[in-house]
């Protein structure tokens, strides 16, 4: 049977865009301050999840909501289940947008909105791909289940809960990365370096803050400093503007008497590619580290501004490692917090370092090394509960081979395997991968201001997903 998949997508283009734009208008940032039993990650992720599931109900699929943690949309029969995994939550919008991040705009062939490329746009493309296969009444031998998550950008608590109540699909993909395929993902763990909140120098650090999520490069940072005298205030002000002029950052400093308020702006980026951003947190610490701070404040600034500043591959931390297939370990310092206090180590005085590590090393080994190196700098090291192990599906697996074949047929380009530092729902399954929706050469705006997905890529991806779903389930 010869099917013109692109024609089928074009016939549904207006409906697809309307559904996507309505979904993008929902601010689905996680908000723990507003979480309830009915909204485990806050009202935004819940509302986006329910909105997506409502599309499935409208279109006649079997739909299940698992207590507003996650849900699924499915059809078909068979002994095996093909799983497709998307997520409705988004990272915080942050600053620097030229449009309203939650009022999508289509201009110059690009859809601008938070979530347009990560992951509401690709999820909608995959959903419409599934819908086309169902609408055409094509013969299938497997069940198809679209699993919709709501906590992918944070702790994956949605999937933990979902799979306590539902069986895992047998194989599948997540439309949450790049074409031609992502069949390998590095391990992922966050380590926290905690510090005393005391000041023992001529200068006092009252507060320091940077970052929105551990998996985002901080695009902005701020600090409040008490200076020893008026002369020191004038010297810091001059030094600050000299620093800004010589470095790839912008910023302001406001001095009132002997108190200075500093703000620095860099460039946000996805934490899996920290070298693509400009970490405002480490740059601000680099500037402040030259002054005579003491105690825990000095240790905090020195670690942030000297040891982990631009240490994208863990070389200064002493944990650099490279695997022939999976590539280099990367480190993103995503969250910084310091408040002056006199009580020992403080849970809220910390730097969160997110590591993406290849096979050949372990999270335990990382923690031991970091504890040894930063312990000498006065830090106490902790780890978060989520440790994702490196994941790989061989290139000759039928799932990978089929998806690469579909990509080649639609693009005329040779498919090949790829391994990334990012973590996707594809790793939830032993035979799970990430597949699109970004094409080679795309401009990566995930986790950044002015996030967009091109309309052409959205429509091309939808056709590829429809064909791939059919080939995998027929």
Q: Is the peptide bond before 437 cis (omega within 30 degrees of 0)?
A: yes
How far apart, in whole angstroms, are the C-alpha atoms of residue 25 and residue 451?
A: 14
CA torsion angle for 266, 269, 271, 277 (degrees, to 10)?
A: -50
How far does Cα 269 stand from its chain's mean position? 9
For the chain, what is the radius of gyration of the CA atoms?
Answer: 24
Q: Which two tokens stand for residue 356?
A: 């993406």
CB atoms within 10 A of CB 107: 10
Give the sign of the dihedral formed by CA 176, CA 179, CA 185, CA 191: negative
Whether residue 89 lies in the annotated active site = yes
DSSP secondary structure letters along 326-346? TEE-EEEEEEEEEE--SSSEE
The CA-atom distances, in angstroms, between 207 and each of 197, 296, 413 are 9, 12, 52
- Catalytic residue chosen out of the listed positions 89, 119, 176, 457: 89
Task: Name residues whose C-beta falls within 8 Å of residue 40's C-beta, 6 or more positions apart in sequence.
Answer: 46, 67, 68, 69, 151, 157, 158, 161
How far apart, in whole angstroms, are the C-alpha atoms of residue 91 and residue 334?
A: 13
DSSP annotation of 212 reads S
Q: Which residue has the tokens 């030259």?
A: 290
How far apart, in whole angstroms, are the C-alpha atoms of residue 439 and residue 454?
A: 10
Task: Assess contact for 130 and 84: CB atoms under 8 A.
Answer: yes
- Catalytic residue chosen out of the listed positions 59, 152, 451, 467: 152
How far does Cα 372 stand from its chain's mean position? 29
Task: Assess contact for 176 and 85: CB atoms under 8 A.
Answer: yes
Whether residue 408 lies in the annotated active site = no
Q: Which two tokens stand for residue 120?
A: 């509401």
| Maximum distance among all Cα pairs of the chain, rounded to whole angstroms | 82
Q: Which residue has the tokens 């094509």?
A: 138
The CA-atom distances, in angstroms, between 356 and each of 39, 57, 293 are 30, 38, 32
Task: Assess contact for 464 and 406: CB atoms under 8 A.
Answer: yes
Which residues are tagged catalytic? 89, 152
């Amino acid at each position: 049977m010869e099917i013109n998949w692109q024609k089928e997508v074009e016939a549904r283009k207006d409906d697809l865009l309307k559904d996507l734009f309505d979904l993008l208008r929902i601010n689905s940032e996680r908000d723990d301050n507003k979480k309830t039993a009915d909204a485990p990650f806050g009202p935004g992720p819940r509302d986006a999840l329910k909105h997506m599931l409502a599309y499935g109900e409208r279109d006649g699929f079997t739909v299940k909501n698992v207590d507003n943690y996650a849900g699924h949309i499915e059809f078909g029969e068979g002994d095996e289940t093909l799983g497709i995994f998307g997520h409705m939550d988004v990272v915080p919008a942050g600053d620097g947008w030229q449009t309203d991040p939650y009022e999508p705009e289509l201009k110059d062939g690009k859809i601008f909105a938070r979530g347009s490329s990560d992951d509401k746009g690709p999820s909608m493309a995959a959903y419409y791909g599934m819908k086309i296969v169902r609408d055409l009444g094509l013969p299938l031998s497997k069940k198809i289940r679209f699993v919709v998550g709501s906590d992918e950008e944070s702790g994956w608590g949605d999937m933990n809960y979902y799979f306590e109540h539902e069986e895992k699909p047998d194989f599948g993909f997540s439309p949450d990365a790049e074409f031609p395929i992502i069949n390998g993902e590095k391990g992922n763990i966050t380590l926290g370096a905690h510090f005393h909140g005391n000041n023992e120098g001529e200068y006092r650090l009252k507060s320091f803050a940077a970052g929105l999520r551990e998996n985002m490069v901080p695009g902005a940072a701020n600090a409040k400093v008490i200076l020893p005298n008026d002369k020191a205030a004038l010297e810091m002000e001059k030094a600050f503007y000299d620093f800004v002029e010589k470095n790839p950052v912008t910023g302001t400093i406001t001095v009132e008497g002997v108190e200075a308020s500093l703000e620095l702006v860099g460039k946000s980026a996805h934490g899996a590619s920290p070298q693509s951003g400009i970490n405002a947190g480490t740059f601000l610490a680099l500037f402040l580290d030259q002054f005579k701070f003491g105690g825990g404040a000095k240790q905090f600034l020195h670690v942030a501004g000297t040891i982990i500043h631009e240490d994208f591959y863990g070389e200064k931390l002493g944990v650099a490692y490279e695997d022939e297939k999976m590539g280099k370990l990367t480190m993103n310092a995503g969250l910084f917090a310091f408040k002056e206090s006199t009580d020992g180590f403080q849970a809220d005085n910390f730097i969160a370092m997110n590591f993406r590590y290849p096979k050949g090393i372990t999270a335990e080994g990382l923690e031991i090394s970091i504890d040894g190196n930063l312990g000498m700098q006065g830090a106490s090291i902790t780890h978060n509960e989520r440790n994702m192990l490196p994941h790989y599906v061989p290139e000759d697996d039928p799932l990978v081979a089929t998806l690469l074949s579909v990509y080649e047929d639609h693009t005329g380009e040779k498919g090949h395997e790829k391994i990334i530092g990012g973590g996707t729902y594809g790793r939830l399954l032993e035979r799970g991968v990430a597949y699109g929706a970004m094409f080679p050469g795309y401009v990566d705006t995930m986790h950044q201001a002015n996030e967009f997905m091109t309309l052409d890529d959205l429509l091309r991806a939808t056709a590829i997903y429809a064909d791939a779903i059919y080939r995998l389930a027929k």
